[in-house]
């Protein structure tokens, strides 16, 4: 709907919101049109259509965008003639009423491991110091391990400037690449101890060196059992990795190392990822290193510094939460199947 030419209508008889001042019977509650686009001046039909538009994916509407912003929703509303004129703040207020935020997105991954609940449950039991229905012994330990790959050394073309009065730290955008290394680390879940090493490549041999590094130290060297929680990366995947590592650490025919695989695509269950996020935030951002030696020294020095104040992570996701999650996913899958049928 376009505006009528000036002078072609009587004053007060047309509205920029799409309603007509002369159609009093259609909207008894709106006998006249308030000035501008103030709150309450638009018919409910307009609000509903705008919200419906915001809840669509732009690609399905033939719009070459991945997400809508408020200005883009406004432009599309005007283009479609839903209303002759409306402000972005009014559209924002309508969407805010239903917490609709089309400009934001959240990634998700549906569990596809057929044995997801059992595998995840084992990990959660270990975090709660239980194994196969029994409490862990005081000489049992739980390690969470993984690799942080491709940690780069970026040498800035001009020195980084520290913060000053009314000035944040300034980091030169242009840099020279100084190569990349792999950071392997293991986190003692209940003792808040971290063990790391830097390697040129990832793989079976580098990961085994990390395991040897930990298992050679006390109290792990004389531990009754050390449980290693890992993902399904190529360095420690499948039954072959279990046979290799568990067979290496035995005492009187009894396995001292137990390799526990988390379900496929469930890194959020691996506590070492929390530590890696801390490293990324506190050590590697912004990335400004002269070479890989400096990267390695910084990573290893941070381990000792972090341990001075570290406490075990407050892990709150329990087996009960897992059961609730699996039930909700099952209901959602059943609902989808019913809708498709």
Assess if residue 133 is contained within a domain.
yes
Output the CA–CA distances (angstroms, integers) from residue 201 to 147, 181, 268, in the order listed.
Answer: 10, 7, 24
pTM: predicted TM-score of the whole model, two decimal places: 0.78
**Domain assignment present for 295:** yes
Q: Do residue 158 and residue 120 come from a single domain?
A: yes
**What is residue 40's predicted lDDT score, i.e. its pLDDT?**
54
Residues 238 and 134 placed together within one structural domain of the fold: yes
Answer yes or no: is 184 within a domain: yes
Same domain, yes or no: 26 and 91:
yes
Contact, 256 vs 140, CB < 8 A? no
| CATH code (residue 217) | 3.30.420.10
Give one DSSP letter per residue of 89-141, joined into a string: HHHHHHHHHTT--TT----------TTHHHHHHHHHHHHTTEETTEEPPTTEE
Domain that holds residue 95: 13-106
Domain boundary among 76, 106, 136: 106
Residue 329 lies in a domain: no
CB 154 within 8 A of CB 175: yes
Q: Exposed/middle/buried for 267, CB within 10 Å: 0-12, 13-18, 19+? A: middle
Our count of domains for the chain comes to 2
Q: Given this model, what pLDDT does residue 109 score?
A: 78
Q: Write out residues in the chain with pLDDT < 50, as ranges.
A: 1-14, 16, 18-39
Q: What is the pLDDT of residue 253?
A: 87
182 and 301: one domain? yes
Question: 106, 138, 163: which is the final residue of a domain?
Answer: 106
158 and 304 together in one domain: yes
Question: Which pLDDT tens digit goes with each residue over 38-81?
Answer: 445 899 999 999 999 999 999 999 999 999 999 999 999 999 99
Same domain, 97 and 130: no
d(CA 66, CA 47): 23
Query: Measured between alpha carbons, how far is residue 5 from residues 105, 197, 262, 282 in Å?
Result: 42, 74, 68, 61
pLDDT confidence of residue 152: 96
Statement to judge: residues 31 and 122 lie in one domain: no
Indicate whether 226 and 302 sit together in one domain: yes
How many helices and strands (H and E) does the chain possess? 9, 9
| Residue 26 tokens, joined | 């259609």
Please indicate, yes or no, if residue 324 is contained in any of the structural domains: no
Contact 259, 236 (CB under 8 A): yes
Is the same domain home to 162 and 287? yes
User: How much is the pLDDT for 296?
Assistant: 98
Radius of gyration of the chain measured on its C-alpha atoms: 30
Flag whether 126 is in a domain. yes
My answer on whether omega of the bond before 120 falls inside 30° of 0, hence cis, is: no
**Peptide bond before residue 219 is cis, with ω within 30 degrees of 0:** yes
Are both 125 and 78 inside the same structural domain?
Answer: no
Q: End of a domain among 56, 81, 106?
A: 106
């Amino acid at each position: 709907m376009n505006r009528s030419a000036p002078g072609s209508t009587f004053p007060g008889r047309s509205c920029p919101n799409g309603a007509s001042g002369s159609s009093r019977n259609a909207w008894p509650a709106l006998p006249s049109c308030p000035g501008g686009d103030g709150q309450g001046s638009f018919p409910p039909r307009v609000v509903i259509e705008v919200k419906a538009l915001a809840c669509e994916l732009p690609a399905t509407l033939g719009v070459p965008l991945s997400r809508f912003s408020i200005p883009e929703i406004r432009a599309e509303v005007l283009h479609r003639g839903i209303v002759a004129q409306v402000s972005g703040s009014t559209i924002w207020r309508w969407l805010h009423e239903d917490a609709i935020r089309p400009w934001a997105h959240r990634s998700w991954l549906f569990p596809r491991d057929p044995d997801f609940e059992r595998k995840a449950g084992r990990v959660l039991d270990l975090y709660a110091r239980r194994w196969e229905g029994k409490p862990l012994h005081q000489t049992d330990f739980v390690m969470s391990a993984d690799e942080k790959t491709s940690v780069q050394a970026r040498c800035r073309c001009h020195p980084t400037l520290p913060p000053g009065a009314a000035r944040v730290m300034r980091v030169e955008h242009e840099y020279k690449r100084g190569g990349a290394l792999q950071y392997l680390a293991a986190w003692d879940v209940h003792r808040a101890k971290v063990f790391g090493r830097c390697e040129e490549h990832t793989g079976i041999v580098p990961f085994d060196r990390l395991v040897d590094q930990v298992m050679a130290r006390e109290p792990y060297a004389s531990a009754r059992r050390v449980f290693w929680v890992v993902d399904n990366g190529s360095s420690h995947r499948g039954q072959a990795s279990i046979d290799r590592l568990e067979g290496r650490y035995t005492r009187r025919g009894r396995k001292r190392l137990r390799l526990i695989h988390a379900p496929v695509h469930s890194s959020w269950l691996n506590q070492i990822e929390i530590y890696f996020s801390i490293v990324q935030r506190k050590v590697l951002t912004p990335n400004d290193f002269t070479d890989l030696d400096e990267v390695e020294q910084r990573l290893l020095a941070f381990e000792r510094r972090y341990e001075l104040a570290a406490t075990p992570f407050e892990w709150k996701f329990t087996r009960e939460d897992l059961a609730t999650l699996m039930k909700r996913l099952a209901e959602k899958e059943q609902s989808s199947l019913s809708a498709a049928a």
